[in-house]
Amino acid sequence: MGGSSSLNQKSQGAGYHVSGFLSEKVGRLKITKEQWEGYLAGLDDGARERAEAGTVFHCDAAHGKQEDGHLDANVCMFIGKAHASDIHPTGYWCGNDVYTQLNHAITVFEILHPGCKGLFLFDNSTGHSKMAEDALLAQNMNSGPGGKHVSKQRGTMWTGSDGIEHQQSFVFAAGDRLLFDAKNVRAPPLDGTFPVGLKVEVKRPGERKLRKGATVMSSKDGKYTVSIYVDGRAEDEVLEDLDASAIVVPAETYKAGPIDARLVGQSKGITQILLERGVIEPKSKLKAACGAKEKKARKDAKAEEGIGQHESAEVPKHAGWSGYTPCCLEFLLSEQPDFQAQQNAIQELILSRGHYCIFLPKYHPELNFIERYWSRVKWYARQKCDQTKAGLRTATDEALSEKACDLALIRRYSRTAWRWVDAYRRGLDGVLACWAVRKSKCHRFVTDAVDREVDRMAEEQKEGEAARAATEHVEPPPLVVRGVADMAAVGALGDDDDD
């Protein structure tokens, strides 16, 4: 097809990743060396040290040893295991990288616009939804006390039925009370080591079953030697060079009452948290969590009932409420106000820095004008790349420059996105919204004349659909064919868009 790009076969070749921020006022977020040094000069020692620490990420060797990489909020890096570094152990871009880059990008924004508040827009992608390590997430908690890992969740405040706020920790402290009889609780040593003489259970190499009756004999450099009592044998079996992952403490039952010393510092678990809040009774029969089999059964049942045209085939993890009864303890805790109010790491960072954040609806890239910018950058890089790694980087750097996409073009992309927002605000969708955006030439909204024309076309479309429905023994064309036909009828497939 004339003017289109060729589709090359996918392979395990080199990849070059670019992550950046775009402003309709200044374009790419970047500063000069003088601006950066002037910013540092106005900070105290502690703030200056934190600001300089944030530049290490942008000047990492994986980005080409750019000494002035911190002057640009963009991050460019080759991806893959061959390009792993101390800052990128896997060699790939992940949620932690987005967080680190954003923290420095906010600093660059504040240098460019002192005293202003920024509104940061993000696509609703999984890479932008990472939660902080200490976020309030019920899915990261065991139902009972103890467990292999101690809860990292931050302390929280909850409001009782009397309107009084209560502070709550997710780990046991000396003086706490266990509010139910906890069975099969494993409380491993908090420092992760197993002292000599401790009774444990172990896994033999190559086995999955735990062997009981084992005792730690010695330890060295993180390796353990244990002895296992075997019925009918004069001597115990000795296992050497075992990793800590192959050793667990025996499961025990802890009665309700003053906390046992072995549980101090251990995770409380969902049941204890809900009991402290008075949400459930000690003898509650609710299961811990909804399993994968239950979710699959609900998904299959939904498929049998039939899935609507605009309805997803997926089902939530939890069955939810059945009358006044929750499906499980995990769901009940996740419905608590403090857990519902939990924001992702990006939102928490931006709000803590005094700015605003919006996550755009899923599957609507037309609302984010940076998508048009990336499309332009990739198109330009394809034209200039000589199919080598060095050429790819050179072509991409040139594509990111004002030579390929200047501020005027970036602002046109922004105006187009604003017209999409206004079209949706007026209640338009699909083909009619696309037509209205293309025909409107105002900077940030759809004109009234175009809006009236859209209303007329919508009425004609309804009349046509009614006429087709009244026709007997005629099957409607497939949805995709109807969509293309409607777009062609209103001129939405034309190439006369100035933008």
Q: For residue 66, what pLDDT is reported? A: 63
Contacts of 429 by beta carbon, 8 Å cutoff, 6+ apart: none
Residues 56 and 71: their CA atoms lie apart, in Å, by: 12
The model's confidence at residue 409, banded by pLDDT at 50, 70 and 90, is very high
The model's confidence at residue 441, banded by pLDDT at 50, 70 and 90, is low
- Mean pLDDT of the 147-155 span: 85
Please determine, for residue 69, whether its predicted confidence score (pLDDT) is greater than 60: yes
Q: For residue 13, what pLDDT is reported? A: 60
- Mean pLDDT of the 341-363 span: 94
Per-residue pLDDT reduced to its tens digit, 119-134:
999 998 888 989 999 9
Residue whose pair of structure tokens reads 């420095």 in the numeric block: 104
Q: For residue 162, what pLDDT is reported? A: 85
pLDDT exceeding 90 applies to what percent of the chain? 44
Average pLDDT of the chain, as a whole number: 84
The model's confidence at residue 481, banded by pLDDT at 50, 70 and 90, is very low
- Which comes out higher in pLDDT, residue 475 or 205? 205
Q: For residue 445, what pLDDT is reported? A: 65
Q: For residue 156, what pLDDT is reported? A: 94
Q: For residue 433, what pLDDT is reported? A: 82
Q: For residue 267, what pLDDT is reported? A: 94
Please determine, for residue 33, whether its predicted confidence score (pLDDT) is greater than 60: yes
- Mean pLDDT of the 85-100 span: 85
The model's confidence at residue 225, banded by pLDDT at 50, 70 and 90, is very high
Bridge partners, 121 (sequence order)? 358
- Mean pLDDT of the 341-368 span: 93
